[in-house]
Amino acid sequence: MTSRERILAAIGHKLPDKVPVDLSATPSSGISAIAYSNLINHISRPDLPVHIYDVVQQLAQPDITILDMFGSDVLDIGRTFNDLPSDWYPIKMVNGAKALYPKWFHPVNQNDGSFNTFDDDGKRVLSRMPAGATFFDQTWFPFVDGYPSDYKNLDAEMNRIMWSRHVHSPWDHAGEPDFWQKLREKTLLLRQTTDKALLVVCGCNLFEWGTFLRRMDNFLMDLLCDQDNVEKLLDELMKRHLATLEKVCDSVGDIVDIIRFGDDLGMTQGPFMAPEIYRKLFKPRHKILCDYVKSHSKMHTFIHSCGSIALLMPDLIDAGIEIFNPVQTNSSGMDPAFLKKEFGKQCTFWGGGIETVGTLNDGPVEKIRDQVLQRMEIFSRDGGFVFNTVHNILPDVPPENIIAMFDAVKEFNRR
């Protein structure tokens, strides 16, 4: 099987020749730039650049040789952009190692060692990476004091949110007049030159945009106490999401295999909201998004949602979600055997292969091997599984542990 055939077989609940693997096809299945830098030095490849393509989370875009080394079967089409040396400039990470930022991203170093990003006027702080930290935090919430009377300025306010303002490729080029043509041309070339499955990250967040605009505490209260305003905001977001989906489907819907949505709906102890609230406010809109994709493209629907979402999964599946990531198995109700038994015939699990915190970062390698083999045994039965860590590989993960993880994957796949 080719990598693409392997991924599609798993999504179709057919047994592929081996369990497919993902490394860095999404900004929630990737690797910290620090961890990646340590890894390439450990394997004597310091010649490879460390491109920090997701500047908010400080994630690396691994070189294709590294993806091939670890058997990754899927690529993000965003990697076809920013492909020239002139698209990047050198920086030093918090650990002193060299890396590269996209040429458009210029955070400002503060006297206390932190880095800030600013609005166009250079005064309002939009995000901040504290001294010694390894990712940026949002600091500007435009609707923190209340909903606006109208949404004529919503696009401008959304563009002040770090997740939009400092978005990863290909969306950092979305404002260019020939973007959609370039996206198709570059994706066609990528499909012709690789047998890996192709994925496009498309956001379409709903709950999360509420938290980005109103701040988490306010928006959680709104879900209970101000649903009229929540629905007005969600309807405005849907207008924008559907307009983007139309362009994505027209541009690459016939040549990309998977479209990735995002909406963190869970905490470690359970969902952020009761299932009844999800069904009223979010499920109908998720269904509209999924229905549009299925009627206008060949792409499979993928959602990234952290936390304990088992209570919401029946409704998400009913809305049209086919693939779940990161499968946060250390959360309440997210035991691997339970998830596979309850939902394994209805969806694909893209993640859950090893705990990023508590196993992959700590080891020892024997524990890493045991957990990988156990998880693969559970999740891979009858297809419906793509091996991936529970979220991104974090900065403190030693390179030896990353290698031990992928060695265990190869061991399972040789059986």
Q: Give the three-state DSSP class for 9.
A: helix
Q: Return the closest-CA partner of residue 127 out of 158, 165, 169.
A: 165
For residue 127, the surrounding DSSP H or E stretch is strand 125-129
pTM above 0.75, yes or no: yes
Cα–Cα distance between 142 and 156 in angstroms, integer? Answer: 10
**Within a domain: residue 160?**
yes
**Within a domain: residue 235?**
yes
Q: Return the closest-CA partner of residue 299 out of 170, 198, 196.
A: 198
**Within a domain: residue 386?**
yes
Domain containing 199 equals 3-31+67-81+142-414
Spatial neighbors of 14 by CB under 8 A, at least 6 apart, are 383
pLDDT averages per 10-residue partition of the chain, 415 residues: 98 97 97 98 98 98 98 98 98 97 98 97 96 97 97 97 97 97 98 98 97 98 98 98 98 98 97 98 98 98 98 98 98 98 98 97 97 98 97 98 98 95
**Within a domain: residue 321?**
yes
**Within a domain: residue 115?**
no
**Within a domain: residue 21?**
yes
**CATH number (domain holding residue 246):** 3.20.20.210
**Within a domain: residue 211?**
yes
Q: Distances from the Cα of 369 to the Cαs of 97, 138, 332, 377, in angstroms? A: 29, 37, 24, 12
Q: What are phi and psi of 153, to 5 degrees?
A: -105, 15
**Within a domain: residue 153?**
yes
Q: For the chain, what is the domain count?
A: 1
Residue 415: per-residue pLDDT: 87
CA angle 92, 78, 46 (to 5 degrees): 35
Three-state SS string over 222-283 comes to: HHHHCHHHHHHHHHHHHHHHHHHHHHHHHHHCCCCCEEEEECCCECCCCECCCHHHHHHHHH
Residue 145: per-residue pLDDT: 97
Question: Are 350 and 387 contacting, i.e. CB atoms less than 8 angstroms apart?
Answer: no
